[in-house]
Chain A
C-alpha cells in the first residue's frame, strides 16, 4: 500500500510573490490567518512547512500556532494531492445508500487508503462530509466533477474517464 508521498517542496518564485501579495492584502485584517491559509493553499495546492514558515515570518505569528491551525481543519493539507482528487461523500444520506461500499471499492482498485496518493501522483483519495447533493446519493467528486447515483459497478467507469 502506498504511503503519504513526501514530495520535495518545489515552490516557484512566482508562487512566493503571489503569497506575499496575499499576506499584504490582509495585513490590517483581524483574524486574517484563515483567509491567508486558504488562499495560500489555492496557490500551492497544499501547505507544506516551507509555506507555513513564510506566512509565520511575514505575519509575525509563531509557526507552532500556524501548524496548529493547519492541522485542525480538514480542508488544509500538508501533503500534495493527486492530479485527480477523488472525494467520496460519507454523509448520512450517501452512507445509508451504500457510499461506504463505493469507498472500499476505490481503495481496493487504487491500492491506497484515506488521504493517500497513488505512487504516480495521478489519483488521491479522501472521504468527505456531506456535499449537499443528497438527491443524487451516493455521490463522489473527482476534482470539480460530481458523479451521482453510483453503484460499486460504476466505479471503474468513472475512473476510466481519467485514464
Chain B
C-alpha cells in the first residue's frame, strides 16, 4: 500500500493565473495519509483554486501535481478520481434536474458511460442517515432540496467514492452545528482509516476542532504551515490578513445625537423564507447581517431592493414608503436604493463589456443624471484608486477587487440614500478591502444608510455598528457594543442558546 512517509497528494511550484489575476503563486503543499490538513485563508486567498487544481478541475499554469509521489497530469476530475482524489465542492457538484439517487450514481467509480452500478447506494443511505439526513429521500429532485440538504448529499456523494484523499471545500457552510459535528465524526473515521483529508473553511472554530496541521494562505501564497495548537488565534488571523486587524478597519464613530432613521423595516416578511423582520438604520450607521448561508439574510436584502413579489410589511426610506416593484423603481432618486449583488461576476457586471459601459449601466435610466458624463464616476473611482489599463477595456481584464470597485462606482454615481451590500469583499485582496471599508464609513458619515451582509466575522465585528444574526428566516440576535464578538456571532448563527456550554467553539 502507501508508504507512511509518502504524501498522498502534493504539489510543487504550482502557479495558476486567470488572465490578469494570479490565484496561486509558486505554491508547495502536501497532504499525508491519516491526517486532516486544514487550509485557512480569507476569501480569495487561493484556497479554492488550490483544491480545484488538486482535484483536476483546473490545470495549473505551471508546476506539478503528484499523486503518491508520482507526477500526474489531470485532464479533468475523472482522472483525479481515478487516483482516489475526491472533492466536495464549494459550488455544489450536484445536477439540479436529477434525483438524489441519480446524482449519487453519476460518475460513480467503475461505471463510466455503461451500465450503472447501484452497489454503493445502501452505504450512501446509511451515511446520509448518520448525518441527520433521514428525511432526504433518494427520489427527490436535487433542485427541490435546501442548500443544507444539498451539502449533506454532497458529503455522502464524496464518501461513497472510497477516496484516498478527501477534499472538503467550504462544504458545511449551511449546516447547523449538530449536523456539522456528525459530518466531522465521519471525516475523523475516514482519517483513522488512513484517508488523507484536505479541509478548507474560513470558520476558525471548525478548523480548530478538526485539523491536525494547518496551512495559512494569503494572496495566492502559502504563508505558513504548523501543527494545530502551535499558534494562537490572533497570530493566525494576522497571518491570514497580513496586517493587524485594527489597522484594517476605520474607527467606529459615535452616532450623533438625534440622528434620523434613514431606512426602517416594519415587519417586512416574505413567507416562508423571510419571517417578519424589523430594524432601523440611522444616519451614520453601518448595520451588519450575519448567519449561516441561506438563513434568509440574502433574500431579505433582495426583498428590500424590490426583487421579491408578495412581500409583506413596510420599508420606509426617510419616512416614505419604498416601492417594491423592482430595480428600476428602486434606483430612482426619490427612492435612492442601490444593491451590490453577491455574485459580482455574473450579477453585478457584464464581463464582456468595457469598464465605461459597465459604469454607465445604472445611471442610464435616471433622467436627472447624464450617464455619459464621466465626472459622476470619477470621485468614487479616484477614492478607491481603480487600477486599470484603460476604461475602454473589458471589465473582465480587471482583478476581482478592481471589478468590485467598478460595481461600487457604478452605483455610487446615483448618490443612493441606502446602500445594500451582499458580501462585497468576498474574494478580494486586503488593500481593496481596507479601501472599501474606509469608503463605507465615509458614506455612512455623509448620511447614507449602509446595510452589509457578510460571511466574514471580522467585518461584522469591526465595521458594523450593530449586527443582526439570522437563523431560519428571522433575526435571532442583534449584537452591538461589547456583545459584538466572534463567540456571540457563532453562537447565534448556530442558534445555540448558551454559547459557553458548547464545545468546539473557539475561545477566541
A binds B: no
Residues of B within 8 A of A (CB): none
